[in-house]
Amino acid sequence: MGCLYSKNARNVPGYEEPTVLAAETPFTVDEVQALYELFKKISSSIIDDGLIHKEEFQLALFRNRNRRNLFADRVFDLFDLKRNGVIEFGEFVRSLGVFHPNAPMADKIAFAFRLYDLRHTGYIEREELKEMVLALLHESDLVLSDDVVEMIVDKTFKDADTKGDGRIDQEEWKEFVSRYPSLMKNMTLPYLKDITLAFPSFVLSSEVEDSE
Amino acid sequence: TTPLTMNAFELISTSQGLNLSSLFEK
């Protein structure tokens, strides 16, 4: 099984050696190999080509391949480091590495900033914040009047934009997050510490191979 | 906590699109 993994996996476009990925991320080699099981499952759910397409990502997140969501789109775009419209295995592991419980908090804060910087200007602007609040309301059952939305956005913006220049920069974001640490809760996935238990099949087979 | 007491980013962070733990559900 271990041999099958290594021979087949090497033929997959964008495949990278687990030892290389483990060296660059908080994951161990075994964990990278377990992540390959998860990657295989997601990347073969619609088109079995060893790449995660947007619809496959949506299917994995929402159990619905057609469910569009601004935030899922942003996560997909940030995972797609090469910006070629698909997530390769190496991109998947490197990006999930940020969500590892042992990843540096600075990386998590920076990732969230890029997530919310919708137009890639290097700042989170008021319009972007309002657009995200409206997107959240759209996906949920919450109904808030435009006045209330304006009030929430205004209040938050004034709180975060401490320099008062009408935009939130990375320094202000870091300071804001330190005051509201719950904002970083989504940026840590405890599952990643137990990934070899969740997807043990390769680890078991690789141990057999190692002992031979 | 109700939406009115949450700041805009707290509200946004409740999005299902940001909850990647569902990737690990079988």
Q: Is B17 part of the contact surface with chain A (CB cutoff 8 Å)?
A: yes
User: Which residues from chain B sit within 8 angstroms of residue A60, using beta carbons?
Assistant: 22-23
In a mutagenesis test of the A interface, which of B2, B6, B11, B22 is the best target, namely the one with the most A β-carbons within 10 Å? Answer: B11
ipTM field:
0.92
pLDDT at residue number A141: 84
Tell me how far the alpha carbon of residue A175 is from its chain's centroid. Answer: 22
Give the confidence band of A188 by pLDDT, cuts at 50, 70, 90.
Answer: very high
Query: Does position A210 have pLDDT exceeding 50, yes or no?
Result: no
Tell me how far the alpha carbon of residue A135 is from its chain's centroid. Answer: 18
- Report the distance separating Cα A58 and Cα A42, nearest Å: 10
Let me know how many helices (H) and strands (E) chain B has, helices first: 1, 0
pLDDT at residue number A198: 74
Give the confidence band of A169 by pLDDT, cuts at 50, 70, 90.
Answer: very high
Tell me how far the alpha carbon of residue B21 is from its chain's centroid. Answer: 11
User: Which residues from chain B sit within 8 angstroms of residue A160, using beta carbons?
Assistant: 9
pLDDT at residue number B1: 54
Chain B: give the shortest CA distance to residue A185, in Å. Answer: 8
Chain A, residues 15-74, CB within 8 A of chain B, namely 38, 42, 60-62, 69-74
pLDDT at residue number A196: 81
Binary contact (B7, A74; C-beta < 8 A): no
Query: Does position A134 have pLDDT exceeding 80, yes or no?
Result: yes
pLDDT at residue number A8: 64
> A72-110: per-residue pLDDT in tens?
999 999 999 999 999 999 999 999 999 999 999 999 999
- Mean per-residue pLDDT over chain A, rounded: 90
Residue in chain A closest to B7 (alpha carbons) equals A156
> Tokens in use for A69?
């969501």
> A105-132: per-residue pLDDT in tens?
999 999 999 999 999 999 999 999 999 9
Residue with tokens 């962070």: B13
For residue B18, give the nearest of A157, A180, A186 by CB distance: A186
> A35-54: per-residue pLDDT in tens?
999 999 999 999 999 999 99
Query: Does position A7 have pLDDT exceeding 80, yes or no?
Result: no
